[in-house]
Amino acid sequence: MTKISMTVDEVSYSDEIEPRTLLVHYLREQLGKVGTVVGCDTSNCGACTVELDGQSVKSCTVLAVQADGGTVTTIEGLAVAGALDPMQQAFHDNHALQCGYCTPGMIMAARDLLQNNPHPSEHEIREGIEGNLCRCTGYQNIVRAVQQAAGMTSGASS
Amino acid sequence: MTAVSDRPAAEIGKARRRKEDQHLITGRTTWTDNMTLPGMVHLAILRSPMAHATITSIDATPARQRPGVVAAFTGKDFADIQGDLPCAWPVTPDMVNPGAPSLAVTQVNHVGEAVAVVAARTKAEAVDALEAIDVEYEPLPPVLDMEAAVADGAPLVHPNTTSNRSYTWTFESGAAGTGQPIDGALAGAEVTVTRRFIQQRLIPSFMEPRSVVVQPVGDGILMHSSTQVPHILRTMLGLTLGIPEHKVRVSAPDVGGGFGGKIPVTPEEVITTLVARKLGKPAKFTESRSESIMSAHHGRDQIQDITITAKRDGTVTGLDVHLFADMGAYLRLVGPGVPILGAFMYNAIYKIPAYRFVCEGIFTTKTPTDAYRGAGRPEATFAIERIMDELAAELGMDPMELRRKNWITHEEFPFTTVCGLTYDSGNYEAATDRALELIGWDELRREQAERRERHDPVQLGLGISTFTEMCGLAPSRVLGSLDYGAGGWENASIRMLATGKVEVVTGTSAHGQGHETAFSQIVADKLGVPFEDVEIIHGDTQSSPKGLDTYGSRSLAVGGIAIVQAADKVIEKARRVAAHLLEASEDDLEFEAGAFSVKGSPGSSVSMGDIAFATFSAHNLPDGMEPSLDADATYDPVNFSFPHGTHLCAVDVDTETGRVTIRKYVCVDDVGNPINPLIVEGQVHGGLAQGIAQALFEEAVYDDAGNLTTGTFVDYTPPSAADLPSFTTDRTVTPSTDNPLGVKGVGEAGTIASTPAVVNAVVDALRPFGVTDVQMPCTPERVWRALQGTEKSDRAASGTNAYGGAATTEGGAE
Amino acid sequence: MIPAAFDYVRPSSVAEAVSALGAAGEDGKVLAGGQSLIPVLRLRMAYPSVLVDVGRIPELQGVRDDGDAIVIGAMTTHHAVMHDELVRQHAPLIAQATATVADPQVRHRGTFGGALSHADPAGDLGAVALALGAEFVASGPGGERRIAAADFFVDYLTTALSPDEILTAIRVPKLGAGWSSHYEKFNRVAQAWSIVGVAALVRRDGGTIAEARIGLTNMGPTPLRAFAVEQALAGAEASAESIAAAAAHTAEGTSAPSDLSGNADYREHLARVLTARAVRTAAGA
């Protein structure tokens, strides 16, 4: 067992864990942060994406011990006092989710994209979220949502 | 029935943002795997590494000694209690069903089949302990190629059968009396075109891996499962395990996609139930993605031999279809019926006088197949739309001209097809004209000619798919005639609460479709209450006791109508209370925007909310009236619905590398009246992505030992945003005449229509090079090989391919 | 899936790392960014007893100028590499190829040295390092040594590093004036590994190509140089025709695999096409 500490969604935690514990399993099983989900074994789907020390990472491909001392933001930490993050709002406005399973990771990846490139082209948006698979939407409304969040369009619908 | 269009439609037709979204975008979700119950054990399943083998010995005892392990079981432990996984669709009276254990007992028949289960305090401990289980296998020959599987002397998948053929299902229009005999059409044909198409094996790839939690409750169980079909699961699980149905409660919490992939009763659901009952403790099993890919059912996998006959002028005279349909190792819930759902769709939108369809269901030592988005209808649509292009090429006709010549014109509806189905409504001309205009067809054709002329290494191809589908599964009588094991009705009930709020219980079970929003819109309009005042309850057999769940684009076209009918009953009850309160005759009342008023005296009115409270308090109700406005309805559709549309695709094909890039994709779908255009568009987008993925990206590949070599998302490659274009979508609206909402269903349209549009475009680009087909997925390598005129098209490195001898011809003409 | 249990150490210096690796013995494994290793552990395709996490050793981080070369710390993430000013100025081929590696999240964790040490022939950076003539700096119990790129890649997933050595840095010679470069990647879907990739470096002298260096991704068990093409290009006219003629030699000396992503003959064909394109783009021809 190894002792780790980290701040997750602005709460400090300290735990003894097995070194093999994946960050996503630590979040889900020990911290109850079940908003972040697991979709694959091979870091392809991106459903588990969280922000670690300011950058998007796939939390199923990071050991919890590697995040020791770090600061993690999950989907659950975005809406502050009931106000949605602009990316969350944009996903809602543009019907950028159907089943919603990929959504936490997609939103975290999209936020990171805009952090690195505040005014991406459609092509850059598509490449920027290439690490996240969605099986429901065909991505078109996700692209629209990212465009809205980037301030490039208003809501696509009434 | 009341036509909704008669009243102000404030909600229906409005692009409402979804009420489902809030908890999904904030991570406040209830996926089954999120659930942890006190005392719960975690399960891990040991799976067969062999495609086909006898289990000569298996010992789970060492696993029981591992840390944290509570129990470990093998098939022998469950042999007497696990029953057989149900197949509800014996498509022929003599269909062979060899049985399907949840845990293999004596033999394994596909890689990934469950052979043992460990229950431990944590998932990690359970997975660790799997490594202590000793299994010895005596290999049997793998059975991989469907045609070889039914040849004389082929090794049998199942020792208790005499053939690897499960069934042969036949339809012939002459014999059925729905059209002319096929033999005449074949014999007298002026032009005959024959092709073999391969529907590759696909993996549904819902994003949420399947998960199940079983909680023993008294002498029954409460199962939480990531399923599309809680009601069917309840009934079937009870029958399979001998648990009385009323002792089984199934709940489907948030479910992360299904696409047909969460329809069958799964081995894992049975295993988890058995472990939970043995231990008397809650048990959870969640699959990993790699387990999901190899053991959750696959889709498609058919060899289609199709012959079309026509006159020289392009009039189609007959269609003859033979399928080999791979069932995989076992028959799953509706697996045998999937290709049969396509049987009625090969004739598509065309007036074809003679038709034969023969389907042989074959066992192989691969993962079982079952429904995947479209289920039978994408295969049919692909085959007919591909061969229409081939026929056009043979005749030297424009492919759209050939379609126009043969399709049912809008004046001809209702139209009874060669299969005996009656299409209620449609307007193929309007959808096609709009699509051609949106894509700029003539301009693209000119560009294509110009690029051909100058031998541009990147060639332009244009593809057409004019399609229809049968949705709204399904009229119970029709299902009965097809030997399906259940009906096709749907149930709804509406509860008027004291404060005027409304609870709507539906038997459909959403997993991303947006039922809560769309159904709320319908009820808001019907009852004249605010959208926000309607709550949709679904997905738990306790709170939603009656239903047949969600698949086959049925939720709106069947479930939605049940809601309309229940609402009509509520209104009639409310009318009686309103008349009493207003001291008027019921006949003198009109109901408008949620209030009853006396015709001609506008001042006197009573709202639905007033009536709800008056009914709740029950102080002053009509004599003899029970104090309730609640009503339920069970709707059995009179017919399928037949959405249609025209999809056009323009691709750039790099003839040097073989890379296909979609340049423009336009579709004009007619799904009847849209309840929520935003949701309709989203369904089309997602469907397109899956259909395009079949055309270009996805394929489950087995090697010659029967190993699934596409075992993770590294090798099985669903497209990302960077692999797909933006789509141009539009609609025409030809309301269904068979239901009061005029709706048709949209869940599968994009998937059904898009695959042939893309492949037709690829072949169109390559036709000047003598290419007449490219096997799906049209990978760069396959396209390149087609251009080389070489036949090798397999993707397996070991020298075999997934379909044995069944490769389509590539390169040269027939 | 969950990895099998292992012990974990996190040294804070290269010396500590080397000694931890030595102590771990045969079943020890270096953990860099983990973007290839962790999926392998999750699928239980490897069972290391100890992971030596070198991800937080300060001396392995960052890019520095060292006169005629830039030195990229082995644990510099892909994201940092592709945005680094020194890299962009002196080895733009690395920045361009790195941007095609996997996806943004993986590039945030995955490291330049980790990817090269993993030595997957489908990885994009090996061919780039070869073409650039990079040197690999390794530390072991016997001290530090430099390994030429040509000697670093030994076989499939196998490098010249001994089990108790770690890669600490990659020295990349600065490209002199007149050099230009391009990385041409070909894969089935955006996040897939390369079916084939071609790294081209070209020095033009007026209308001719004075010198060229070509690295090939996934045309054998290791990244390869396409020497025959380089030879044919030297002194050739910078035209599409002569470049195509030179690129016709691309498959010589390769041993392309046949797998799900492509059969060998297709890879050979692709390599020729992509080499011509990469050289044309690099040469502006």
Is the Cβ pair B779, C188 closer than 8 Å?
yes
A78 contacts in chain B (CB < 8 Å): 26
Nearest-angstrom CA–CA distance, A7 and B487: 54
pLDDT, residue B468, reads 96
Report yes or no: B136 and B55 within 8 Å, Cβ to Cβ. Answer: yes
B792 touches C: beta carbon within 8 Å: yes
Q: Mutation target for C interface from A18, A63, A108: give the one with most C CBs within 10 A.
A: A63
Q: Which residues contact A130 (CB under 8 A, 6 or more apart)?
A: B720, B721, B722, B723, C103, C104, C190, C191
pLDDT at residue C106 is higher than 80: yes
Nearest-angstrom CA–CA distance, B793 and C267: 14
Nearest-angstrom CA–CA distance, B402 and B393: 10
Nearest-angstrom CA–CA distance, B318 and B180: 9
- Interface A–C counts its CB contacts (< 8 A) at 88
Nearest to B348 by CA among B772, B808, B756, B685: B756
| Angle, alpha carbons C202-C279-C244 (nearest 5°) | 130
CA distance B712 to chain A (A): 7
Nearest-angstrom CA–CA distance, A15 and A23: 12
Report yes or no: B532 and B565 within 8 Å, Cβ to Cβ. Answer: no
Q: Mutation target for A interface from B40, B205, B207, B688: give the one with most A CBs within 10 A.
A: B207
pLDDT, residue B810, reads 36
| 3-state SS class at C212 | strand
Q: Which two tokens stand for residue C176?
A: 């002199």
pLDDT, residue A105, reads 98
DSSP assignment string, B232-273: HHHHHHHHHHT--GGGEEEE--B----TTTT-SPPHHHHHHH
Is the Cβ pair B257, A74 closer than 8 Å?
no
pTM of the model: 0.96
Nearest to A138 among B24, B514, B689 (CB): B689
Nearest to C103 among A20, A63, A131 (CB): A131
Is the Cβ pair B724, A35 closer than 8 Å?
no
Nearest to B577 by CA among B528, B626, B523, B527: B626
Give the rounded distance of the alpha carbon of B106 from its chain centre. 33
Is the Cβ pair B714, C193 closer than 8 Å?
yes
pLDDT tens-digit readout, A48-75: 999 999 999 999 999 999 999 999 999 9
Q: Which chains border B (3 or more CB–CB pairs < 8 Å)?
A: A, C
Nearest to B673 by CA among B737, B741, B729, B738: B741
Tokens 């099986």 appear where?
A135
Report yes or no: C224 and C131 within 8 Å, Cβ to Cβ. Answer: no
Say if residue B474 is preceded by a cis peptide, omega within 30 of 0: yes
Nearest-angstrom CA–CA distance, B389 and B391: 5
C104 contacts in chain A (CB < 8 Å): 56, 109, 112-113, 116, 128, 130-131
pLDDT, residue B797, reads 33
Question: How crowded is residue B441: how many other Cβ atoms within 10 Å of its Cβ?
Answer: 18
Q: Which two tokens stand for residue C280?
A: 């044309």
Encode burial over B55-83: b for 16+ CB neighbours within 10 A, e otherwise. beebebeebbebebbbbbbbbebbeeebb
Average pLDDT value for chain B: 94
Nearest-angstrom CA–CA distance, B335 and B340: 10
Decide the pairing of beta strands B283-286 and B41-47. Answer: parallel
pLDDT tens-digit readout, C171-219: 999 998 899 999 999 999 998 999 999 999 999 999 999 999 999 999 9
pLDDT, residue B603, reads 80
Is the Cβ pair C273, B715 closer than 8 Å?
no
Q: Which two tokens stand for residue B496?
A: 């008027």
pLDDT, residue B601, reads 84
pLDDT tens-digit readout, C121-160: 999 999 999 999 999 999 999 999 999 999 999 999 999 9
Nearest-angstrom CA–CA distance, A52 and A72: 5
Give the rounded distance of the alpha carbon of B465 from its chain centre. 19
Question: How crowded is residue A64: how many other Cβ atoms within 10 Å of its Cβ?
Answer: 25
Residue type at B52 in one-letter notation: H
Interface of C with A in 137-196 (CB under 8 A): 190-191
Nearest to B657 among C43, C193, C273 (CB): C273
- Interface B–C counts its CB contacts (< 8 A) at 59
pLDDT, residue B799, reads 32
Q: Which residues contact B463 (CB under 8 A, 6 or more apart)?
A: B389, B648, B649, B650, B651, B756, B757, B758, B759, B760, B761, B762, B763, B764
Q: Which residues contact B286 (CB under 8 A, 6 or more apart)?
A: B32, B33, B123, B209, B210, B211, B212
Interface of A with C in 17-56 (CB under 8 A): 18-20, 22, 25, 41-44, 46, 49, 52, 55-56
C57 touches A: beta carbon within 8 Å: no
Q: Which two tokens stand for residue B685?
A: 């987008």
* DSSP-derived secondary structure letter, C249: T
pLDDT confidence tier of residue A158, bands split at 50, 70 and 90: very low
Report yes or no: B263 and B371 within 8 Å, Cβ to Cβ. Answer: yes
Residue of B nearest to A34 (CA): B34
pLDDT confidence tier of residue A153, bands split at 50, 70 and 90: low
CA distance B331 to chain C (A): 28
Nearest-angstrom CA–CA distance, A49 and B374: 31
Q: Which residues contact B601 (CB under 8 A, 6 or more apart)?
A: none
CA distance C17 to chain A (A): 16
Nearest to B352 by CA among B386, B312, B384, B305: B384
Nearest to B411 by CA among B423, B403, B399, B421: B423
Residue of C nearest to B702 (CA): C260
Tokens 């909680």 appear where?
B215
Nearest to C43 among A22, A41, A49 (CB): A41
- Torsion angles phi and psi, residue B721, rounded to 5: -55, -35
pLDDT tens-digit readout, B23-72: 999 999 999 999 999 999 999 999 999 999 999 999 999 999 999 999 99
User: Would you mind telling me the total number of residues written for chain B in this entry?
Assistant: 814
pLDDT, residue B10, reads 84
One-letter-per-residue 3-state SS of B509-530: CCCCCCHHHHHHHHHHHHHCCC
- Torsion angles phi and psi, residue C26, rounded to 5: -60, -35
CA distances from B16 to A87, B531, B612, C11, C169 (A): 19, 10, 26, 56, 56
With residue A111 as reference, give the H or E element that holds it.
Answer: helix A103-116
C255 touches B: beta carbon within 8 Å: no
Give the relative orientation of helices B561-582 and B608-617 as an angle to the nearest 10 degrees. 70
Is the Cβ pair A138, B686 closer than 8 Å?
yes
B727 contacts in chain A (CB < 8 Å): 138, 140
Q: Mutation target for C interface from B654, B784, B798, B801: give the one with most C CBs within 10 A.
A: B784
Report yes or no: C197 and C184 within 8 Å, Cβ to Cβ. Answer: yes
Taking every pair of Cα atoms in chain A, the longest distance, rounded to a whole number of angstroms, is: 53
Q: Which chains border C (3 or more CB–CB pairs < 8 Å)?
A: A, B
Q: Which residues contact C191 (CB under 8 A, 6 or more apart)?
A: A44, A130, A131, B720, B722, C102, C103
Is the Cβ pair B713, A42 closer than 8 Å?
yes
Give the rounded distance of the alpha carbon of B101 from its chain centre. 25
**What ipTM was assigned to the predicted interfaces of this complex?**
0.96
pLDDT, residue B806, reads 38
Low-confidence ranges of chain B (pLDDT < 50): 1-8, 793-814
